[in-house]
Structure 1
């Protein structure tokens, strides 16, 4: 890495540390303002940044051991020694011309870290496995003592690039041929019939299908969640927490542009992005609707009016840590208990939209029991009109990724982001003319 790129890496690391926004949003803004960096430079800076984000706790442990402040500058210096194996002299030469120059304390830090690697036998598991304190006990409960380590290690491995083919505009076979012709090595995803996986690191500009709407970036696990909605042409469907519309696009395409989809969210900016993506994908059977809250009056007015309702609930995001390494260090604003309470309110409110005989899919990108199995169990206990549809019955080909009847995906076991989904069905109304055998009439 040149001094110019080293400075850019330090600058963007500082921006990520000080901003309240996710790292991907911060880096997008950073690169828009840095026209001096070409695609190759941006790739090098991003790789260095995300590598340090994936090593944050371990680098922090080393800095604390040296009584050094855990600052972006010190973390970068520590990574150059511990992660890239550079000598203090090499780093001094690389740092030449950067301001401010290396201080005496920084020179001492480099000397003390020289000869060591990122891992150290004295590290506690929470540091070695990059697990924040707030999530340690819930994750250990979820995976047990042995599974916890394997799953956390899997979140430290950069994920592949998963794409979903838009069947309105293309086929997977055609996209696989096109990408192979571009010198890439695409593979069909093993579980999703619309997915393509790329292991290569590449500029997204090399994928023209992203601009034409033929493909979308979407993890295979997320694709499977939308398949469980099983929306049919001419049905009425709600994506209750649509966000920027990744799952909405998949559902609308699943319906072959026929029927009616409502993409709801409390964030108007995200829904505007959803509308833009829908236009680019050639989908016109979707309406976007901004809700004031999870109990917006619109819900009551459309009670029992939809065949399918998807709730991709706001969650801790523990299933996305391999993709968003900065997210693990942002504890839920409401705390885990507050987040679980919000999910329960959303689930109870959105369930009112499901017509008799209709399907409700509750999903999160979390791997925590509190947000998933426990949430579904509590809902079913309070809502006897709904029952769980076991995954093996709804999607037999996914029998290998089920747990207690739910879809349960994890990075270590399935090579996807962590996802949970439960299929809940509302009881149908009795057929006309049938007599209740318990009736005294």
Structure 2
């Protein structure tokens, strides 16, 4: 049992060293790379303790050790060795419903887990959203066109459990290793359920090959989704970071996608957009840089380290980008604005600005909530430019 005390002390040490300057998963990798004495089981146990600590957000008033143990109790449904050692009464009750478990942990206030309730989009159920942080999100994948049957067959042969969420969407336990089972990007892409649902807002094009600009392309999830939806696309992708575009090019190559244009551009700089020229697009996809607050179930350290003033910084950047890129939508064309944020200032307020300053009409707007099914929460709005302006 001594190794359990060691795990607990190591977790406390890690939390004392972590300052939030880099993503916690990167910090953990660096820590364990320097500390070779920890085996894979040790790393998994220590990491789980830390992540469950962060899942309590700002709702915990206990010391570090009690918060670690409280996280292990509230965020698990199966007996835990560390609890059997230090909190056997909790361990005996670990399968109780969450509401009953919370009553046994008086130093956790579920209403304070998420620290920015006042900033939430109005349609979010505050209590359900806050409690969702105590449950690790699932791994969602989207099968590529024509690959659904073979992906399911390979998973069944490998005895990997999965749930069918939609025609091309499968849900698996978080952390499931698929790299030796399936061909990434060729047979499937890793994409959250609600990120996949953004595709339902894509407009219909009856004739020709639509000209599409994925202006904040990042890892290319929306780019691949557009190709899989429209089949034939005149695609332009851009990002401000050369390294990101390089990684995107490799990913698109794996996905069998070629013949697109790639541009490095700062979308917040109106003069820099001269590299686009006078071209206008049938569809501009603006998956804007944001707080990522709708995905913090996957990065729960943000509950502790994100600062409220960052919301306004992101909102200002989003407003600038949205107005700048909207000018490249042809009359009658479309702008798809999306974020993985739950904040009004990053979502509804930006759309209100677009429609107030540019000749756009909202076709469909959706707050894609995921907190009832261990998925991310996203926001997406499809706007159409007036045919003649």
Shared fold (TM-score, shorter chain, > 0.5): yes
- Equivalent-residue separation in structure 2 for 1:38 and 1:213 (angstroms): 33
Structure 1 residue 316 corresponds to structure 2 residue 291: yes
Residue 349 of structure 1: how far off its partner (Å): 0.4
Matched residue SS, 1:175:
helix
What are the equivalent positions in structure 2 for 1:331-342 lying under 5 Å apart? Answer: 331=306, 335-342=310-317
Deviations 1:350-408 (A, max 9, x none): 1011111211001111122222222212221222x211113xxxxxxxxxxxxxxx111
Q: In the alignment, which residue of structure 2 is the partner of 1:289?
A: 263
Shift in CA distance, 287/231, structure 1 to aligned 2, threshold 3 Å: farther
Structure 1 match to 2:155: 179
How big is the shift at 1:182? Answer: 0.8
Residue correspondence of structure 1 range 9-48 to structure 2 within 5 A = 9-10=11-12, 12-14=14-16, 17-30=18-31, 40-48=41-49
Cα distance in structure 1, aligned partners of 2:279 and 2:333:
9
Match of 2:198 in 1: 225
Q: Which has the higher helix share?
A: 1
In structure 1, the partner of 2:83 is 85
Report Cα offsets for 1:290-333 as digits up to 9, x if no partner.
Answer: 21342354534434521111111122222112122112233358
Q: What is the total number of aligned residue pairs between the two structures?
A: 366
- Quick one: distance in 1 between partners of 2:311 and 2:87? 46
**Alpha-carbon deviations, 1:159-204, whole Å to 9, x = none?**
111012233xx511221111111101222223xx422111365334
How far is 1:124 from its partner?
4.6
CA gap 1:41/1:317 in 2 versus in 1, 3 angstroms? same
C-alpha contact (below 8 Å) 2:362/2:382 kept by paired residues: yes
Q: Is 1:423 equivalent to 2:382 in the alignment?
A: yes
Query: Could you say which residue in structure 2 is the equivalent of 1:435?
Result: none
Deviations 1:197-250 (A, max 9, x none): 11365334454322x632221101111224423486732211111222222222
* Change beyond 3 A, Cα 1:388–1:338: same
Is the CA contact 2:332–2:386 (under 8 Å) kept in the aligned structure 1? yes
* Corresponding residue of 2:360: 386
Q: Paired residue for 1:62?
A: 62
Q: Among 113, 131, 134, which residue is 2:114 paired with?
A: 131
- Looking at structure 2, the residues matched to 82 and 292 of structure 1 have their Cα atoms a distance apart, in angstroms, of 44
CA distance in 2, matches of 1:45, 1:203: 19
Question: Helix, strand or coil: the match of 1:412?
Answer: coil
TM-score by length of structure 1 reads: 0.72
State the secondary structure of the residue aligned to 1:273: helix
**Aligned pair 1:208/2:182, yes or no?**
yes
Shift of the 75–154 alpha-carbon distance from structure 1 to 2, 3 Å rule, reads closer
Aligned to 1:158: 136
Aligned-partner Cα distance in 1 for 2:198–2:70: 40
Distance in 2 (alpha carbons) for counterparts of 1:119 and 1:426: 55
Gap runs ≥5 in structure 1: 64-69, 91-115, 391-405, 431-441
Relative to the length of structure 2, the TM-score reads 0.80
Cα 1:318–1:89, aligned 2, differ >3 Å: closer, same or farther?
closer
Shift of 1:18: 2.7
| Structure 2 residues not aligned, in runs of 5+ | 76-81, 89-100
Contact 2:141 2:171 in 1 (8 A): yes
Q: Residues 329 and 10 from structure 1, CA distance in 2 versus in 1: closer, same or farther, beyond 3 angstroms? A: closer
Shift of 1:423: 0.5
Distance (whole Å) between structure 2 residues aligned to residue 23 and residue 62 of structure 1: 21
Corresponding residue for residue 188 of structure 1: 164
Distance 1:230 1:21, change over 3 A: farther
Q: Distance in 2 between matches of 1:55 and 1:319?
A: 16
CA distance in 2, matches of 1:355, 1:343: 21
Q: CA deviation at 1:54?
A: 0.7
Distance 2:87 2:134 in 1: 30
Instruction: Indicate how the Cα distance of structure 1 residues 79 and 375 shifts in structure 2: closer, same or farther if over 3 A, else same.
Output: closer
